[in-house]
Amino acid sequence: MAHDHGFHPVRVTRVIDETADARTYALDAPFSYRAGQFLTFKACGTLRSYSMSSSPDTDTELRTTVKRVPGGLVSNWMLDNLRPGDLVEVTRPAGAFCLRETAAPLVAFCGGSGITPIASLVKSALATTERRVRVLAADRDGDSVIFGDELADLAGRHPGRFEIERHLDAERGLVTGDRVRAFTGADQDADFYICGPAPFMDLVESTLLSLGVEEGRIFIERFAAADEAPAGPEKEGTVTISQGGKKKTVPQRAGETLLQSARRAGLVPPFSCEAGNCATCMAQVTEGEAKMRVNNALEDDEVAEGWVLTCQGEPTTEHVTVVYED
């Protein structure tokens, strides 16, 4: 059985102004979640995912923090309209940007509102483990800093275990590879968490890899769909898609997702984020196998039953059949 990936109405109980363009929303949501996970909101005819800034281990409220972005349809609507008492539609918490069972230090790099899931992870790591935790938080300027007092207070309460270094672009310019190397220091065996604007995340990731940090120790939260490479030429094999009583078969193409194959077959399959976060595009593989590039939405037992995010799934066998639920 597929799990509940539907939308649920939840009430906003509190709105906290963090900065001139960032607000935290406390929600009366009866969900359990893990530090670092996100909710997907349905608003303005589209979907957007926002991370929890609260920790399930230290906070009684479930809170998510949203920053205004130029042209941001949902974030701007939330900041301009959402008030205590309002209902919003959200999915259950999802995401794999979570703590691992390890004693390794935790080193995080965040930019702007990327501090949201990092704050959640830091609070849980300090409350439930003995791990050392270090964060380099980059912001445009002092007025843009989110959770400044809360995290400084946490550092004061965990001397020797938690350190947060603030980097203000207005004073020091953008974070550079040298800055990432210097902050990493001798902690190359840490687990690294990265969240922020795409160029920032790319820079931190490539610098860590150049330092010899294992890929499996680097965790990155990306909500936007990665730029899609065009599909390659046709190759051996077929993809068969069943949707809404229609069944179509097309030849496989190198690098093409099942969602792209379904569109090429003339179907109109469901989708939203195209980043592996929302499960709107899920379908069940009933013949053959497919591998997902990113999966932030399906549970292990769903994957074991053959469910796949078609926006992320590529065939790994010669013939693949996927069936969308009606």
**Binding-site ranges for ligand FES (CB under 6 A):** 271-274, 276-281, 297, 309, 311
Report the nearest approach of ligand FES to the CB of residue 281 (Å). 3
Report the residue number, 36 or 313, with the smaller CB distance to ligand FES.
313
How many other CB atoms are there within 10 angstroms of residue 85's CB atom?
8
Report the residue number, 133 or 283, with the smaller CB distance to ligand FES.
283
Report the residue number, 33 or 307, with the smaller CB distance to ligand FES.
307
Report the residue number, 112 or 269, with the smaller CB distance to ligand FES.
269
Residue 85 backbone class (left: φ over 0; alpha: ψ -120 to 50; beta: rest): left
Report the nearest approach of ligand FES to the CB of residue 259 (Å). 7
Measure the CA–CA gap between 61 and 14, rounded to whole angstroms.
Answer: 10
Length of the chain, in residues: 326
Position 131: which residue type?
R
Report the residue number, 260 or 280, with the smaller CB distance to ligand FES.
280
Measure the CA–CA gap between 207 and 204, rounded to whole angstroms.
Answer: 5
Report the nearest approach of ligand FES to the CB of residue 84 (Å). 29
**Phi, psi (5° rounding) for residue 49?**
-105, 135
Closest CA to 275 of 255, 259, 299, 254: 259
Position 187: which residue type?
D
Helices 198-210, 177-184: crossing angle, 10 deg rounding? 60
Report the residue number, 181 or 291, with the smaller CB distance to ligand FES.
291
Position 66: which residue type?
V
Report the nearest approach of ligand FES to the CB of residue 258 (Å). 10
Report the residue number, 52 or 278, with the smaller CB distance to ligand FES.
278
Report the nearest approach of ligand FES to the CB of residue 262 (Å). 12
Closest CA to 96 of 299, 256, 253, 274: 299
Report the nearest approach of ligand FES to the CB of residue 56 (Å). 23
Report the nearest approach of ligand FES to the CB of residue 294 (Å). 8
What pairing do the DSSP bridges indicate for beta strands 133-139 and 162-168? parallel
Give 33's Cβ-side CA count (13 Å radius). Answer: 32
